[in-house]
């Protein structure tokens, strides 16, 4: 009996227990490369993670037949603009806040920390060489030096004050945005983004990552290309209202100097104003699950006329504009059989586009 117990213990230690052996036989081996290929070929959001998504966007995002009309223009991304290009420093900035923050980092912080590091290194080397035992056999018994103590107290304070002034100004500019020209509600999901345009008919976009093949066919960077981009007009102040449907995500576009958490049950707010048309990429910057690395962000910045045409193609309306059919109907009153004029009720903002808003719906409340 003891011998049998010893044999079982040795087998368990070597991973050869009967249960382990049966499990290994039941699960056929699969090459690592095949697993990677399958994970990249899958849609950005699994059906089990968001079952309602099939009703909103039944086509898989990696399908090469996604129409070019999903984009507002035929602008191609430029290497080094709005995307990583291997540089060691910051990406080129295209917003006022980004330019101010880049100046703060490059012109002030980096020189200050470089000078401090070189000074401290030189001071340490001087102390090691000058006051080593061979060169200084009789050490000094000096314990205090008033001038030195005043200097090493005042100099750090002056440095911190110099850094604090532009730092506080940058924070004030970030959290005191100008009046917004349009609002976009950004909702994070496992593992895709949805964009809602409440100022333009409240239509919704569902943005999924494209496969490597589809991204290459469109000349876009892998793991950053999407089937539906957020589209905004150039020069407009865009207010983002950011939240989440499930776990904590983070909406981040490095070229805008923009990063904010998407927290379930909470509305966070940020803004940006892009100076140049183009395509700018970002990614979710908060670990949010198995496919965290596969929920990119693409923002397409276009001239105002192209933005208006894109809004119309999505079934939305520009603020203050009514559809042509509704305007004609409002000009022609209807009559009944008694000859009494009756007003015709017109929906001046067009029929609402049905959307899924899991973050704001209350299915448990009876209508």
Residue-wise pLDDT tens digits, 306-344: 999 999 999 888 887 665 444 444 444 544 444 444 444
Length of the chain as a residue count = 367
* 155-182: pLDDT as tens digits: 999 999 999 999 999 999 988 888 999 9
For the chain, what is the mean pLDDT?
Answer: 76
Which pLDDT score is estimated for 7? 59
- Number of Cβ within a 10 Å radius of residue 141: 5
Locate the DSSP E strands across the chain: 182-189, 192-197, 203-207, 230-233, 238-244, 249-253, 258-262, 268-272, 278-284, 296-302, 334-335, 341-342
DSSP, collapsed to helix, strand or coil, labels residue 121 as helix
H or E stretch including 311? helix 304-313
51: exposed, middle or buried (Cβ count in 10 Å: 0-12, 13-18, 19+): exposed
Q: Given a cut of 80, is residue 232 above it in pLDDT?
A: yes
Q: Given a cut of 70, is residue 37 above it in pLDDT?
A: no
The set of residues, in sequence order, having a beta carbon less than 8 Å from that of 238 and lying 6+ positions away, is: 180, 181, 182, 183, 184, 232, 271, 272, 273, 274
Burial 199-220, CB ≥16 within 10 A → b, else e: bbbbbbbbbbbbbeebbeeeeb
Which pLDDT score is estimated for 335? 46
- Number of Cβ within a 10 Å radius of residue 108: 15
Which pLDDT score is estimated for 80? 75
**Alpha helices by DSSP H, 104-245:** 110-130, 146-175, 212-217
- Token readout for 22 is 């049966």
What does the alpha-carbon distance between residue 246 and residue 358 come to, in Å, rounded to a whole number? 9
What does the alpha-carbon distance between residue 255 and residue 98 come to, in Å, rounded to a whole number? 7
Distance of CA 200 to the CA centre of its chain: 22
DSSP for 15-44, written as a single string: T--HHHHHHHHHS----HHHHHHHHHHS-S
Q: Given a cut of 50, is residue 86 above it in pLDDT?
A: yes
Q: Return the closest-CA partner of residue 99 out of 274, 261, 236, 270.
A: 274
Q: Assign 51 a pLDDT band (cuts: 50, 70, 90).
A: very low
The set of residues, in sequence order, having a beta carbon less than 8 Å from that of 260 and lying 6+ positions away, is: 240, 242, 250, 251, 252, 268, 269, 270
Which pLDDT score is estimated for 125? 95
The structure's pTM equals 0.64
- Number of Cβ within a 10 Å radius of residue 334: 10
Give CA separation, 124 vs 117, 145, 152, 154, 172, in Å.
11, 18, 15, 20, 39
61: left (phi over 0), alpha (psi -120 to 50) or beta: alpha
């Amino acid at each position: 009996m003891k011998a049998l117990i010893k044999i079982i213990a040795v087998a368990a230690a070597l991973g050869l227990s009967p249960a382990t052996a049966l499990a290994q036989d039941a699960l056929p081996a699969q090459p690592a490369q095949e697993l990677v290929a399958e994970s990249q070929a899958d849609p950005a959001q699994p059906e089990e993670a968001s079952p309602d998504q099939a009703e909103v966007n039944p086509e898989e995002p990696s399908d090469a037949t996604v129409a070019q009309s999903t984009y507002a223009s035929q602008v191609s991304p430029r290497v080094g603009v709005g995307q990583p290009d291997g540089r060691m420093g910051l990406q080129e900035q295209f917003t006022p806040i980004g330019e101010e923050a880049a100046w703060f980092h490059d012109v002030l912080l980096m020189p200050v920390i470089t000078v401090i590091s070189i000074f401290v290194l030189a001071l340490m080397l001087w102390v090691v060489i000058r006051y080593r035992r061979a060169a200084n056999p009789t050490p000094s018994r000096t314990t205090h030096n008033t001038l030195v103590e005043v200097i090493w107290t005042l100099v750090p304070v002056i440095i911190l004050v110099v850094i604090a002034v532009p730092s506080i100004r940058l924070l004030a500019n970030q959290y005191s945005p100008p009046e917004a020209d349009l609002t976009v509600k950004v909702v994070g999901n496992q593992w895709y983004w949805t964009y809602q345009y409440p100022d333009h008919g409240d239509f919704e976009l569902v943005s999924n990552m494209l496969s490597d093949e589809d991204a290459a066919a469109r000349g876009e960077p892998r793991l950053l290309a999407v089937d539906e981009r957020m589209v905004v007009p150039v020069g407009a102040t865009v207010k983002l209202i950011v939240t989440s449907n499930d776990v904590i995500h983070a909406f981040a576009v490095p070229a805008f100097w923009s990063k904010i958490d998407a927290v379930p049950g909470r509305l966070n707010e940020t803004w940006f104003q892009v100076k140049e048309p183009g395509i700018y990429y970002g990614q979710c910057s908060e670990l949010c699950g198995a496919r965290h690395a596969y929920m990119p962000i693409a923002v397409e910045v276009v001239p105002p006329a192209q933005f208006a045409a894109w809004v119309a193609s999505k079934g939305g309306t520009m603020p203050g504009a009514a559809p042509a059919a509704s305007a004609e109907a409002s000009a022609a009153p209807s009559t009944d059989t008694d000859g009494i004029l009756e007003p015709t009720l017109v929906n001046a903002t067009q029929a609402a586009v049905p959307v899924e808003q899991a973050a704001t719906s209350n299915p448990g409340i009876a209508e």
